[in-house]
């Protein structure tokens, strides 16, 4: 038999009024009677609140409930179940749920919510299906989380509309929270027309709905739509708030529209909209994502009560802009001032090391995280991926692979993707194939990984393997993302695609581009055709590479943007070697600063030199 004091920590017995029984109380029938007398529902709830973050103690309380007969009270099990959901132990949550006696709709809702909050949408959908099979009637609290789950399952395209049909069936399609989640779901699934219809037919078309729609577009790659909605909101008389501003500034950062972002911020201040620390941090982040390092630094120093987000934003911003020394210096200053850091701060620090190839410093910071007693800065999958990227880009591929094998957590697609990217750079076909195999198992529908593998085979001249990868992509319906570059001019975004002649200024752009290339060739420039991953002759490769989107965007800016301003270009994919060289030559010839942000980082070209020092 077990002593009760071994089940519940001694410090909690005063709560249960059982201290006098500690020396002798065992699990006899007499003891159980005494325990049930003192072990009230209120006492257990108080105990659960005290132990909510300790899984071991929570399991001890569960054992107590089982032996005391209180486990039949679903309210106590619900409280216990909620604690384990917060801790992310969904396996234990499911065991708890399965032992409940005839769980009501509320408990089913709690389980579905738990799976959604712990990134297990398939399990959430399965539980909803089981709920229906058992004849448990869902309610308006069931569907918001079911719809969230469906939004995360694009591979099951019928799931979302099926959930929508159920909503209509139960007559709750006009419940605000349900309709809002449906709207967000359709944005995530790329059905903007349906999302717009739901939004415009809402019974209460208020600020909350506007903010939800704008945020959904902003967070799912529809930045232009988000900005259009933000402007439309103002024209309808709905006054934006801090939440609206954060979404708008976030979009401007994504699109590289700092001028538009500053105009939005200025109008907001003039209209008396509160610009709290969250808004100021969003503004800071926007300027860093637009490459405005000096201005962002000025803003940061003027923020009166900067928090950990402000500091982390600056550290990460310096890192992606190639200012690794400033990033690490700011982190040291943060530590010396006794400011609290978190896992995001360290992610910025490791990113700074990765972008500059600072391997020994990267190891030092990573080990500092690993040995810390602070759970908030313990390494997560993102940090492991960053270390693999640091080692891989520095050419230490075997060390990166061994690091993955020694990880205490299961490596995800981000970790293997970092290794594959490094293998492409350093042409390690054997290790690249291993990483690609793991990625195909973990993320078979992610086009970027398939493209990386295809490009590696192409660089090695293995066109038979290139053909196989591309055939596999076509079979699974995985499409390569079209490369494009954009430039903001006079509050408008101009987009360019490779070889595109649809822009109204195409004729003059191509004429100036030809002149520039001729001038560059006289200075020693020659096309780097290794960036063309097609099995074609040299002349055709040169033709393809000469009209890449980056080149067209830069020339457009040379023609239209005043000489007193830098040229800013946003590229949705990684810049190629040839366009990198082209940009250096143009910065030297034109005496203009070119700031280019690609998928990986910023490149600041000045007088023929890039801030990345050709390490990216």
Q: Tell me the DSSP string of 276-288.
A: -HHHHHHHHHHHH
Helix axes 41-50, 55-68, angle to 10 degrees: 170
What pTM was estimated for this model as a whole? 0.82
Domain 392-481 has CATH 1.25.40: yes
Q: How far is CA 368 from CA 118, 346, 365, 378, in A?
A: 27, 10, 5, 9
For residue range 155-166, list pLDDT tens digits in order.
777 899 999 999
DSSP state of 530: G
The predicted pLDDT at position 531 comes to 65
pLDDT higher than 50, residue 22: no
Percentage of residues in the chain having pLDDT higher than 90: 63
Q: Which residues does residue 609 pair with via DSSP β-bridges, in sequence order?
A: 606
Please state, in angstroms and rounded to a whole number, the distance separating the CA atoms of residues 197 and 208: 17
Tokens in use for 135?
């004849």
Give the total residue count for the chain: 616
Two tokens, residue 244: 């609206």
Q: Which two tokens stand for residue 81?
A: 């179940």
The closest of 110, 108, 114 to 127, measured between CA atoms, is 108
Pairing status of strand 594-597 against strand 567-571: parallel
The SS3 call for residue 487 is strand
Over residues 333-370, the pLDDT tens digits come to 999 999 999 999 999 999 999 999 999 999 999 999 99
What are the tens digits of pLDDT across the range 570-613?
999 999 999 999 999 999 999 999 999 999 999 999 999 999 98
pLDDT-based confidence at residue 1 (cuts at 50, 70, 90): very low
Radius of gyration over every alpha carbon of the chain, rounded to an integer in angstroms: 29
Name which of 417, 414, 384 is nearest 402 in CA terms: 384
For the cut 60, the answer to whether the pLDDT of residue 10 exceeds it is no
Mean confidence (pLDDT) of the chain: 87
Closest alpha carbon to 600 in 378, 365, 392: 392
Give burial (CB, 10 Å; 0-12/13-18/19+) of 171: exposed
Distance (Å, whole) CA 570 – CA 590: 19
Angstrom distance (rounded) from CA 191 to CA 222: 11
Secondary structure element (H or E) that encloses residue 557, with its range: helix 549-560
Instruction: Reduce the DSSP state of residue 496 to 3 states and report it.
Output: strand
Tell me the per-residue pLDDT of 510-556, one tens digit each, with 9 for 90 and over. Answer: 999 999 999 999 999 998 876 666 666 667 777 788 999 999 999 99
- The model's pLDDT over 440-478, given as tens digits with 9 standing for 90+, comes to 888 887 888 888 888 888 878 888 888 888 888 888 777
Nearest to residue 81, comparing CAs of 108, 111, 51?
A: 111
In the numeric block, which tokens belong to residue 312?
Answer: 């982390």
pLDDT recorded at residue 463: 85
Q: Where in the chain is the domain with CATH 1.25.40?
A: 392-481
Reading the block at residue 194, the tokens are 């349906």
What are the pLDDT digits (tens) for 378-413? 999 999 999 999 999 999 999 999 999 999 999 999
């Amino acid at each position: 038999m077990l002593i009760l004091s071994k089940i519940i920590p001694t410090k909690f017995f005063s709560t249960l009024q059982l201290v006098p029984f500690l020396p002798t109380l065992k699990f006899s029938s007499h003891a159980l009677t005494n325990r049930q007398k003192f072990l009230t529902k209120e006492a257990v709830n108080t105990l659960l609140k005290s132990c909510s973050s300790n899984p071991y103690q929570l399991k001890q309380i569960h054992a107590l409930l089982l032996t005391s007969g209180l486990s039949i009270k679903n309210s106590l099990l619900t409280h216990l179940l909620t604690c384990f959901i917060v801790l992310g132990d969904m396996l234990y949550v499911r065991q708890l749920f399965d032992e409940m006696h005839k769980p009501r709709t509320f408990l089913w809702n709690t389980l579905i919510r738990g799976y959604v909050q712990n990134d297990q949408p398939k399990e959430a959908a399965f539980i909803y299906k089981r709920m229906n099979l058992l004849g448990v009637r869902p309610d308006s609290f069931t569907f918001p989380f079911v719809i969230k789950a469906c939004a995360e399952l694009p591979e099951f395209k019928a799931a979302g509309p099926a959930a929508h049909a159920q909503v209509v069936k139960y007559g709750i399609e006009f419940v605000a929270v349900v309709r809002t989640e449906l709207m967000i779901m359709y944005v995530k699934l790329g059905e903007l027309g349906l999302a717009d219809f739901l939004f415009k037919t809402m019974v209460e078309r208020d600020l909350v709905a506007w903010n939800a729609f704008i945020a959904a577009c902003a967070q799912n790659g529809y930045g232009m739509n988000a900005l259009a909605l933000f402007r439309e909101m103002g024209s309808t008389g709905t006054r934006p708030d801090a939440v609206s501003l954060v979404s708008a500034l976030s979009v401007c950062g994504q699109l590289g529209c700092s001028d538009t972002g500053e105009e939005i911020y200025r109008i907001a201040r003039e209209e008396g909209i509160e610009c709290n620390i969250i808004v100021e941090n969003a503004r800071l982040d926007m300027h860093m994502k637009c490459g405005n390092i000096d201005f962002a630094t000025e803003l940061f120093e003027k923020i009166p009560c900067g928090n950990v987000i402000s500091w982390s934003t600056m550290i990460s911003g310096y890192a992606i802009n190639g200012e690794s020394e400033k990033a690490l210096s700011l982190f040291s200053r943060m530590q010396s001032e006794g400011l609290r850091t978190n896992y995001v701060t360290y992610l910025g620090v490791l990113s700074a090391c990765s972008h500059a190839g600072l391997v020994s410093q990267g190891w030092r910071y990573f080990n500092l995280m690993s040995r810390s007693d602070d759970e908030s800065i313990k390494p997560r999958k993102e940090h492991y991926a960053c270390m693999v990227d640091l080692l891989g880009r520095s050419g230490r591929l075997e060390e990166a692979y061994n690091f993955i094998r020694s990880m205490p957590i299961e490596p995800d697609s981000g970790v293997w993707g970092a290794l594959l990217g490094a293998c492409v750079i350093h042409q390690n076909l054997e290790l690249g194939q291993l990483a690609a195999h793991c990625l195909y198992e973990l993320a078979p529908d992610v086009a970027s990984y398939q493209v990386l593998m295809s490009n590696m085979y192409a660089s090695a001249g293995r066109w038979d393997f290139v053909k196989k990868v591309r055939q596999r992509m076509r079979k699974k319906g995985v499409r390569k993302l079209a490369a494009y570059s954009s430039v903001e001019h006079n509050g408008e975004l101009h987009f360019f695609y490779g070889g595109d002649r649809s822009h109204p200024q195409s004729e003059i752009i191509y004429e100036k581009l030809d002149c520039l290339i001729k001038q560059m060739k006289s200075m020693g420039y020659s096309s780097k055709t290794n960036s063309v991953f097609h099995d074609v002759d040299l002349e055709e490769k040169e033709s393809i590479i000469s009209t890449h989107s980056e080149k067209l965007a830069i020339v457009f800016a040379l023609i239209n943007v005043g000489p007193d301003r830098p040229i800013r270009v946003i590229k949705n994919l990684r810049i190629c070697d040839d366009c990198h060289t082209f940009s250096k030559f143009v910065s030297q010839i034109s005496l203009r600063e070119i700031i280019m942000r690609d998928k990986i980082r910023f490149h600041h070209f000045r007088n023929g030199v890039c801030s990345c020092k050709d390490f990216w």
